[in-house]
Amino acid sequence: MAKYCPKCMAETDRYANGECKPCVKAYGAAYRAANREKERARKAAWCAANTEKVKARKAAWHAANREKERARHAARYAENTERVKARMKAWYAENTERGKAIMKAWYAENIEKVKARHAAYRAGIPDKYVENIIYKNNKLLKQVQIPPEMIEAKRAEIKLKRLIKEMQK
């Protein structure tokens, strides 16, 4: 319901109690600006008292903005790659046992994902995979000494072996 407000000097919408909506919003903004610490403490107290609501709200927001968050994290990582890597390395150095436990738990929960990723890696037969096979079979060569022709020949051999194995089934 629009009514004339003498403070705003315009016709504005009103709340049920009759107060002008723009005036109330302006008053609230001015109060929050003048009492920043008090408002911060009030918000912290509310969040502490309503942890479940806060968690649910954050989870809903993250679910609705998953791609936006991924893009933001990727951009931030690209800008600060060295700092992030250094921080992660320092954390792992301080928390080695905890880091290993976290990785072990993740691996146990996602074993199928890991197996699928490894299978896809082997199926693509990348250079590093072929180099590792050559290196395991011939300890005299170092990985940096393996020529590209040898890698291609070994890749062809692997493909032939896989083909023969498939035909025998």
pLDDT at 4: 83
Spatial separation of the C-alpha atoms in residues 161 and 75, rounded to whole Å: 43
CA dihedral 65→66→67→68, nearest 10 degrees, is 40
pLDDT at 144: 67
> Could you state, in order of their start, the residue ranges of all structural domains in the chain?
1-51, 123-169
pLDDT at 13: 86
pLDDT at 1: 61
pLDDT at 76: 95
State both tokens at 57: 């709200």
Burial of 20 (0-12, 13-18, 19+ CB in 10 A): buried
| Model confidence, pTM | 0.47
Spatial separation of the C-alpha atoms in residues 15 and 95, rounded to whole Å: 55
Burial of 130 (0-12, 13-18, 19+ CB in 10 A): buried
pLDDT tens series, the chain, 169 aa: 678 888 887 888 888 888 888 889 999 999 999 999 999 999 999 999 999 999 999 999 999 999 999 999 999 999 999 999 999 999 999 999 999 999 999 999 999 999 999 999 888 899 888 888 888 877 777 656 788 898 899 999 999 999 999 999 8
CA angle 117-120-126, nearest 5°?
115
Q: Is 6 helix (H, G, I), strand (E, B) or coil?
A: coil
Which residues neighbour 125 within 8 Å (Cβ) at sequence distance 6 or greater?
155, 158, 159
pLDDT at 142: 66
